[in-house]
Amino acid sequence: MKNCNQAINSREYKLILNINQFYDRTHTVERFGNLVESLTQQFKGKVISQQTEEKYRQIYYLDTPNFDLRHHGFILRIRREKKYHQTKYQITLKHRESDHYLSASQDFSATKPGKTKFEEDIIPPFKSKFSQSISVTKNRQPNFENIKQVAKLFPGLKALDIPEQTSIELVKNFRAFEVVNKLANLQFGDKHIVKTDLSFWYLNTTDNLPLIA
């Protein structure tokens, strides 16, 4: 049995913002960054570095027609972005649970080299969700036709007993265009660096209000 006592190696505090504040994203991101720095100083922290980087990427999710992965607590996400002028596709399998040990016990082996993460997501009002994930990056867009092909990359999914020929499809026929603005790196009393950023999801272009911020 997998070790259920593995340590959390990432912790994220997530807030949903009022999208009506972001008609002018560039100006509002600057104001928000200034607010973060002001609050950091107010609470005796310090700004280690300031970021102005903006990333663009497309995100979509895959599941069976009956959402079998979701019913078992799994998310299959595809993220398309350019790195060093080359398009890359990051395939991420994630399992989210309220229980630390249940999340840690999942099998996240992969048949290709991947990056694993065990994180705690903290959402208002300070409620914790624990998630384990593995991400595999490829040069070509994945074309999963059924659960058997997904389990070939992530063998742990075989334990779910989903019939192998169950089809895989785009969830809700939805693809999001994401813009990520990196803000300041902060430090509060210890050696840990706190990274801050803003993320915006758009339906087609970034000219309108975001769907979510």
Host H or E run for residue 79: strand 74-83
Between the alpha carbon of residue 12 and those of residues 135, 153, 213, the distances in Å are: 17, 27, 15
* Residue 207 belongs to a domain: no
* Residue 208 belongs to a domain: no
SS3 71: helix
pTM score of the predicted model: 0.90
* Residue 93 belongs to a domain: yes
pLDDT at 54 over 90: no
* Residue 157 belongs to a domain: yes
CB neighbourhood size of 132 (10 A)? 23
Alpha-carbon gap, residue 157 to 173, rounded angstroms: 23
* Residue 212 belongs to a domain: no
* Residue 144 belongs to a domain: yes
| Domain total of the chain | 1
The tens digit of pLDDT for each residue in 142-165 reads: 999 999 999 999 999 999 999 999
What residues make up the domain containing 167?
A: 10-202
The tens digit of pLDDT for each residue in 79-120 reads: 999 877 889 999 999 998 887 777 778 889 999 999 999 898
The tens digit of pLDDT for each residue in 29-49 reads: 899 899 999 999 999 899 988
* Residue 1 belongs to a domain: no
Q: Which string of b and e fits 4-17 if b means at least 16 CB within 10 Å?
A: eeeebeeeeeeeee
pLDDT of residue 1: 46
pLDDT of residue 191: 76
φ/ψ of residue 210, rounded to 5? -70, 155
* Residue 25 belongs to a domain: yes
